[in-house]
Chains A and B, each alone.
Chain A
Amino acid sequence: MFVTYFRARCRSAHGNQLAEFGPALLLLSIVVVLPCFWALSIAAGSLVSFFTASESAKSAASQFTYAAAAQAAQAKASEIANSGLGILVHAPFDGSPNVQLFLAVTDLATHQTVEYGPAQTLPKEVDTEHNLYQVEARTLYEIGPVWQNSHRPNSSSFPLLDKPVQMVFRARQVVEFPQGFCAPVTSPGLHG
């Protein structure tokens, strides 16, 4: 009679949707929501990093000397890193220095570009008739791994899964006064 009672008793269908809702929500968050947040954080970091490079290049391009350009680029990078956006994506991206400055000299006839830098002035005399001078700011953004797996012995084998990936963002601007970006010329006649 006891067995008959249990066979005859059916599981109640009421509330089964509520019981499925919890696991479904958990699965949805693991499969969809968390990767979306991760992708959004990468996108935000990349955009802020590129924005930093772009603004630093703009600031550097309008300076009179290379030293002033480097200072202006760093100041702009620090300004963005201390703003709300920078704090949101944990800037500065690669510690110090935030921005590396390069100088790109493009031959107007052949369109070939030679780069100098980082922290290097133009070695040759400026010739604006035949060359185009641009300043290039580079920022480094490190994308962290999906999970920190430090217990595994071979934990640095898969980029982006186990170890971080570094992305470099570059922005160029035409230099307004390229004469100031040359190495200072010392006149031998002045000091004998």
Chain B
Amino acid sequence: MRYQRHQKGSSLVEVIVLMVLVLAVFSIASDLFWILIGFSTNNNLCARASRAASQGAPDRLKRGEPYRRVMSVISESQNSTGPLEMSRDVSISEQLKEPLPDPVFGGPVNGEVNVTTTMRIHPPFLLSRFFGPQGLALRASKTYPFSYMSRPQ
């Protein structure tokens, strides 16, 4: 005797399987959307922070000045809650060409400053399993030439 599978309820099973798949696709799309937003935000913030640092005195002329300027831009997005977390770990390096401006007469600073910022993204749905509690760390790095003019004392 040939066994026949019962057909009743098969549509319900198909709908549920399909809904699970659709929900998975939507949640992954939502996670990817947040990663894209985080990438763009981090790039924009890094560019602005680097530009802000290039307008001030370099670290060799005024200790901590580039960091102060960078943090004034970074702090705008520090209070944001949600999947995007702007890290306070900022890397700043500068390359100066000699000679530096004379402190008595002043003058332009010749060189460039590089700023690297890090944004941690915590995807709210499925992809969070892959990145763990630390989230996905995205780095951005921008370099701008100094436009600072040292004033004569």
Contact = CB atoms under 8 A, between A and B. Distances in A.
Asked if A and B bind, the verdict is: yes
Interface stretch (A64-72, A93-101, A114-122, A170-178): A170-178
A111 B51 contact: no
A97 B73 CA distance: 28
A132 interface: yes
Interface string A82-116: 00000000000000000000000011110101000
A136 B107 CA distance: 30
Given A174-B51, A174-B52, A176-B147, A111 B72 contact: yes
A68 B68 CA distance: 30
A149 interface: no
Contacts of B147: 176
Contacts of B48: 134, 172-174
B93 interface: no
B95 interface: no
Interface in B61-107: 68-69, 71-73, 75-76
A107 B51 CA distance: 16
B55 A128 contact: yes
**Chain A interface residue bracket vs B:** 10 to 19
Contacts of A54: 44
30 contacts: A32-B22, A54-B44, A106-B72, A106-B73, A107-B72, A108-B68, A108-B69, A108-B72, A109-B68, A111-B71, A111-B72, A111-B75, A113-B76, A128-B55, A128-B56, A129-B56, A132-B52, A132-B55, A132-B69, A132-B72, A132-B73, A171-B44, A172-B48, A173-B48, A173-B51, A174-B48, A174-B52, A174-B55, A174-B73, A176-B147
Nearest to B148: A128
Contacts of A172: 48, 76
Nearest to B149: A128
Interface residues of B, number: 15
Interface in A20-59: 32, 54
Interface of B: 22, 44, 48, 51-52, 55-56, 68-69, 71-73, 75-76, 147
Interface of A: 32, 54, 106-109, 111, 113, 128-129, 132, 134, 171-174, 176
A5 B55 CA distance: 95
Nearest to B144: A174
Given A32-B22, A106-B73, A172-B48, 16 more contacts: A54-B44, A107-B72, A108-B68, A108-B69, A108-B72, A109-B68, A111-B71, A113-B76, A128-B56, A132-B72, A171-B44, A172-B76, A173-B48, A174-B48, A174-B73, A176-B147
B108 to A, nearest CB: 14
Contacts of A128: 55-56
Contacts of B52: 132, 174
Nearest to A131: B72
Contacts of B75: 111
